[in-house]
Structure 1
């Protein structure tokens, strides 16, 4: 079948100014929607805020799935209820342990805005936050374990040590090496497994308990992150009935791709290949930066005290002469504002056949990823593109302490 429009003509007919007061996201009837972009840019957070606000106010989603674990997500819910900004600040710091560019004032303000929107919804229409990722840090997973189990002091030393660790709150909660907190949790999981009947008898929520114990155990060995995200989604779907309650996912670019890249299945690809949802029930939105900067490195001294940060405006944004997305210039030529949304999957779209635009990365004096995309086209991977222009880099939340 031939295409009736050039890419420029098509984009001009299928573009939306996200910053326009009358903007409405042009899609409904989905099971799960995902937004992925390079981390660390202020306007990326603004784009998500606008889309998320619409979805909440129009009651199109029930659950929000950020790129974090169940424990941190659980306490984001507590913030949405309580408005405790000290809790929020600590949550953002732990949330940003996996992706430091998200450890930002912009992330902090985004959550304050989500609370404001959620407060204006009826009880039945409020969103709930769910974490399906690998454990980021042990702190909030440990805190939730203490909430789930109420057992007398002295019954299990491992439980007492867990509670004491949280009370002192000076430890390194990293799951990525043999930290003190990891050893405390190893001892507790061992006691749990050896006394499972007792712990199950006192657990306030066994499904959540099972999920936490399984995910803690995964941190003791080599694990497949994408498989873990998918497995957690299936497991928690029994609790939250995801198939009947739409969700909005905010994760990195790869996780929301709807097709394999280099034969590596993302979270969204696994949902499709496992027949959890049909491809058309999943909406993927990819964000692309131009003339922008991103938060790059956070700097700490030998005592782990924050001392500053760096930003990047060349490598790291996907629009640099040494590294850029094929086809991004067409988005740039047809932008309406600093946040322009393009629908790529309409009838007769030139992006639906034999195209690697916006997926192929051109590299100076290096081989591109074109071979990884052989036989695929742009809309195999995502449905919409957002061009994010003239964005400043995000600011580390640690700057609030200066």
Structure 2
């Protein structure tokens, strides 16, 4: 078979999914390969899915495997002892779970990370329930979010004012990009956090801290305008520099505005005394942090490195050195040890650092069975699409068809359909403290697209708790016809 024959199976496949034109599958050997025409790059949201490098690619592989003479599905996971000896708790969701499995050592952690595959509904419920619980039990009041500093600013403005157009501004770029985070369940969760804040004393109210790289350049420009507006007689030369950054952010490519931002940052530092007098210490530091992020395309292109650098920066910036932090992240960010290919997630970088929190990190991982995921139809192979803008797909569960987490069938046998089960992997004597994570992929999925865990490390070197989510629905697609969204996109900066 030639490397360009994939589209021969499905005439419209190459047209709708052109970056698979260099993919081939040999029916005789069962091997798959990529040709030189494969140029697609995974989006930031694709990389958050677990345990796939490029989920849409795996769907293409699955499509081939189910249509060829040698089609196979992964064999059922044999009973595995990795979950042996692990205490379990069925969580009351929707509702207020007890989280009885959390012991005193759990609450002594400084950084609490929940991992999910974006687009599944129930992790949004788990996230809110866990945030509320940690606020009550451990005093957590800072949500360390997979958003940038500009989105975090406007999320906090919404929490302060309740202004719905402000909230919709945060989601506008995700909706335009058809990113999985642009869903109504996420919107409702933010609204619930505001309602929760209304019941809390001021000292315990929740605020967002964004540490991701810039996601919405136009919104970042608006945030820059907010910071500039706080200045009292900023030197004219610095004003010109900052105006240039604000103009470049929504118009130019990242490489271009990164250079403009870097030069503005150098000018700001060169005239630091005058800039600090004009802006005040806190605003000056926030402005420098924003310019640092706008410069990352030039200075720090790795996303995980950006996230870790921002985490280091916000600790003194917002006086969080002694605060407990919690957040929901894509699974690829919460793994505490490097994978076989050397990938170091955000949590792994914290663990390997000299930061005070390095030994006080706990990761909880959502795995799914029988669940559906919201996915932009245009990003799926044509045979898997629906006519709607978004498709609810069941291809990314951890018990198949594309991947099987070894031991999940045995774990499922102890749980009920539709349930959410919390599993304490690091309990004394639990097998997960000594046995590795094992993942089996469907035949034909290229090794380069597989996320493999180090077989020399126990499961607890990556995560300490697992949540088995059974039969969840997808997140609700965004209501793009909502007038408040259109208003939010047009609303000027404050």
Instruction: Give the TM-score category using the shorter length.
Output: 0.7 to 0.9
| Residue 288 of structure 2 corresponds to residue 207 of structure 1 | no
Correspondence for 1:24 among 99, 104, 120: 99
Q: Secondary structure, in 3 states, of the residue corresponding to 1:245?
A: coil
Offset of 1:7 from its aligned partner?
Answer: 5.6
Q: Distance in 1 between matches of 2:177 and 2:272?
A: 31
Which of 177, 202, 206 in structure 2 is aligned with 1:123? 202
1:382 counterpart residue number: 463
* Alignment equivalent of 1:255, drawn from 309, 333, 342: 333
Structure 2 residue aligned with 1:55, among 134, 159, 162? 134
For residue 223 of structure 2, the aligned residue among 110, 129, 144 is: 144
Relative distance call for 1:68 and 1:54 in structure 2 (3 A) is: same
* Cα shift at 1:104: 0.6
Cα deviation, 1:134-180, whole Å, max 9, x if unaligned, reads 111123322232222236799445555667x69xxxx95786576xx
Question: Using a 3 Å threshold, how does the CA distance of structure 1 residues 96 and 324 change in structure 2: closer, same or farther?
Answer: farther
Structure 1 residues 333 and 10: alpha-carbon distance in aligned structure 2, compared to 1, 3 A threshold: same
TM-aligned CA deviation for residue 186 of structure 1: 7.2
Distance 1:97 1:73, change over 3 A: farther
Residue range with higher mean Cα deviation, 99-108 or 138-147: 138-147
Take 1:383 and 1:144, find their aligned partners in 2: how far apart are those partners? 37
Deviation string, structure 1 residues 184-203 (Cα, Å, up to 9, x no partner): 86785576467555433322
SS in 1 for 2:85: helix
Distance change >3 Å, CA 259–CA 94, structure 1 → 2: same
| Alpha-carbon offset, residue 228 of structure 1 | 1.4
Q: Which of residues 302, 317, 336 is equivalent to 2:397?
A: 317
Counterparts of 2:460 and 2:234 in 1: how far apart (Å)? 57
Change beyond 3 A, Cα 1:370–1:193: closer
Contact 1:61-1:246 within 8 A present in 2 as well: yes
Partner secondary structure for residue 68 of structure 1? coil
Q: Is the 1:35–1:284 Cα contact (8 Å) retained in structure 2?
A: yes
- Gaps of at least 5 residues in structure 1 are 301-306
Alpha-carbon contact 2:83-2:407 (below 8 Å) kept: no
- Name which of 37, 52, 57 aligns with 2:116: 37
Identify the residue that residue 191 of structure 2 maps to in structure 1.
Answer: 112
Larger-gyration structure (1/2): 2
- Mean Cα displacement is larger for which, 214-223 or 342-351? 214-223
SS at match of 2:337: coil
* Cα distance in 2, alignment partners of residues 327 and 175 from structure 1: 46
Aligned match of 2:429: 348
Superposition pairs of residues 255-334 of structure 1, within 5 angstroms: 255-261=333-339, 262-277=341-356, 281-297=360-376, 308-334=388-414
Residue 371 of structure 1 and its aligned partner are, at CA, apart by 6.1
Which 10-residue stretch deviates more, 104-113 or 186-195?
Answer: 186-195
Show structure 2 runs of 5+ residues with no match: 1-79, 380-386, 484-494
Q: 2:156 aligns with which of 65, 73, 77?
A: 77
Once the two structures are superposed, the pairs formed by residues 118-197 of structure 1 within 5 Å of their partners are 118-149=197-228, 150=231, 155=236, 156-157=239-240, 159-160=242-243, 172=250, 176=254, 192=268
Contact 2:390 2:477 survives alignment (8 Å):
no
Indicate the residue corresponding to 2:320 in structure 1.
242
Closer/same/farther in 2, CA of residues 35 and 82 from structure 1, 3 Å limit: same
Residue in 1 that maps onto 2:301: 223
Q: State whether residues 318 and 325 of structure 1, in contact with CA within 8 Å, keep that contact through their aligned partners in structure 2.
A: yes
TM-score w.r.t. structure 2 length?
0.69
Q: Give TM-score scaled by structure 1 length.
A: 0.83
Distance 1:58 1:9 in 2: 29
CA 1:350 to 1:141, structure 2 compared with 1: closer, same or farther past 3 Å? same
